Amino acid sequence: MAQRAEQAGGSSISGIANEIAAQMDSLSTSAPIAEEAIARDLEEEPEEANSNSEDDDSDDSTIRQYSMINSYRRPSCANPAARSPAIFSSSMPDHGYLSKKEREAVRSEERSLLRDNHLLPPKHPRRGSEGVLSSLGRRISTSGLRKVRSEADEEALYPDGSPSEQTALLDGDPSLPYGGLDSPKTINKRWDEAVAAGKISTTWQRETKVLLRTSAPMILTFLLQYSLPVASIFTVGHIGKIELGAVSLASMTASITGYAVIHGLSTSLDTLCAQAYPVNPRLVGLQLQRMVYFLWLMIIPIATVWSFGTQILAVIVPERETAEFAGLYLKVLIAGAPGYAAFEAGKRYVQAQGIFSATMYVLLICAPLNAYLNWMFVWKLKWGFVGAPIAVSITETIMPILLFLYVYFIDGSKCWGGFDRRALKNWMPMVKLALPGLVMVLAELIAFEIIALSSSWMGTTPLAAQSVLGSITGITWQIPFPMSVAASTRIANLIGATLAEPAKVTAKVAAVFSVIIGVANLLLLYGFRNSIPRLFTPDEEVIELVAALLPLCAAFQVFDATAATCNGILRGLGRQEFGGYVALFSYYVIGVPISFGLGFGAGWGLYGLWAGPAIALGIVSLIETIFILKVNWQKAVHAAERRNQLG
């Protein structure tokens, strides 16, 4: 999370940062591996399927030095667990292509910025010669009503209803939208000229709208996906505190030994699909098949571990009954693992085409369904504890089916060329790309899970309280984290287009949002500290312990939100590698020892265990904030220019 503390005088921190960065650069070999893999696939590809004309755009075939299109970065990431740090690729992704939707979206953003800076006329300039009645009739029409809002925005820019003499756009036709200057060629030309002349600027109002617009669907998606395990904790928690602790322990074990493995391995599709799409879209479907088969093969050892979950956990967890319940939960989860793996691979298949709404639509159906199934199986049908993992397994099986139906009937089938025998070979490049992602996912995930597992040695009540606390703080984290993804994407795009000042404005807006979100979470957790635990369990001992610990959790909400958002800003700057290693240092060298020292050595119990991550988050957010305050934004722009030239 924390990033390079690039400070004056060549401090030791700066030296370490430079050394780590150099090492990471030397290990960055994903592009050649992917290119080699695609070349092998192309050797056996039918010649008639080697075109991608639908997404080609002649106006963008030549590299535009300042284009946001050529610097576009997808808002992709892996989020394997509730409280683990976010996992991203080790370098700024070079996708090498954009889908048609993405091209249109980025060009629309360029056009909007040109209009706001009075370098294009408004879309619908006011017609001064139009009569009152005709104007009223036009406005109350169906099409007119749809334009009211956009016209209001444009009139704020042009109070007199038309561009001023300073706009230098009098060559356009005022009777046409954007003065008739809305062609891709014109937008490209004017954009490059405007950026080169330093005429593109932005406002905090615009960047606020952009961040809210892009982060809102991601927040919804993350909350929905996180609700799947929380529904089980919420439902089972009302049976008893032993069951509550067991479902938390089982979810943690499933994350480390299964879900994180699937997440980490599937990240290789981010690179492979990017290399395959511009050559032949159907190769994206081939990569999907190959990954699904690979993940299903990996489920065999995962299922073996889950089958012996009771025996394994009995060695680690002192409470035998807790280990038995958790082992039962893991055994039932095996049935849903193939569906979960297919969904994770399929999610990257649609994202490779610029389709980010498919996952949200699937979760809008599956999340409520999962909650209903949990209630029905556990309470309505009186199956008890075992009903929760059954509900999760059914949901995980339905998710890829719904995603397939979306692709087949709505959007995304272009990249599917049918089942292919080539998916059974040429696996080594995929494995080479998948292993680094797996290592990073597990390394960052285990830090928080060590804390959760340690609580089981304090007794049934602390373990149950840990389950509730982990769920609560996990929910609050699903808001600043998607905001950080939106900020990262926006800043990367602006930096890539050599717009240093607008990128700084976005960073400032994101930082303010992080503080607002953190304070809101703080007030929520502290104000309802006695009420929130009762939503998860009726046990008074657990409620009392959670209520006592929620002020501590509330206290680090500002640090948590700030660290997440600053992490996103630094990813946008392309400085995330060092941040990942500082995060590992903060949690393993500082946070975990403090947790064990205070939790067990000083006898503070669960309060001591949570003090470690709280202190680590404070350190992380402090280092990141210092770095961002001292960052050289123009230097980041120069780095982006070099990437564009190499592109």
Q: What's the farthest any 2 CA atoms get from each other in the chain? A: 84
Task: Please determine, for residue 157, whether its predicted confidence score (pLDDT) is greater than 70.
Answer: no
Q: pLDDT category, 340, cuts 50, 70, 90?
A: very high
Q: Enter the DSSP assignment of 63.
A: P
Q: Answer yes or no: are the C-beta atoms of 566 and 418 closer than 8 Å.
A: no
Positive/negative CA dihedral, 233, 237, 238, 242: positive
Report which of 497, 492, 450, 498 is spatially closest to residue 595, judged by C-alpha positions.
450
pLDDT averaged over the chain?
Answer: 79
Q: Are 464 and 233 in contact (CB under 8 A)?
A: no
- Amino acid 509: pLDDT: 95
CB count within 10 Å of CB 633 equals 18
Query: What's the one-letter identity of residue 595?
Result: S
Nearest to 392 by CA among 413, 407, 371, 408: 371
Q: Note the pTM of the prediction, 2 decimals.
A: 0.80
- pLDDT of 417 reads 86
For residue 577, the tally of other CB atoms under 10 A from its CB is: 25
> Which of 37-41, 163-167, 321-325, 447-451 is modeled with the greatest confidence?
321-325
CA dist., res. 346 & res. 72, Å (int):
22
Cβ 7 vs Cβ 628: under 8 Å = no
**Of 24-38, 422-436, 438-452, 545-559, highest mean pLDDT:** 545-559
Please state, as a whole number, how many other Cβ atoms lie within 10 Å of the Cβ of residue 538. 13
Range of weakest confidence among 22-26, 75-79, 81-85: 22-26
Who wins on pLDDT, 150 or 506?
506
pLDDT at 90: 40
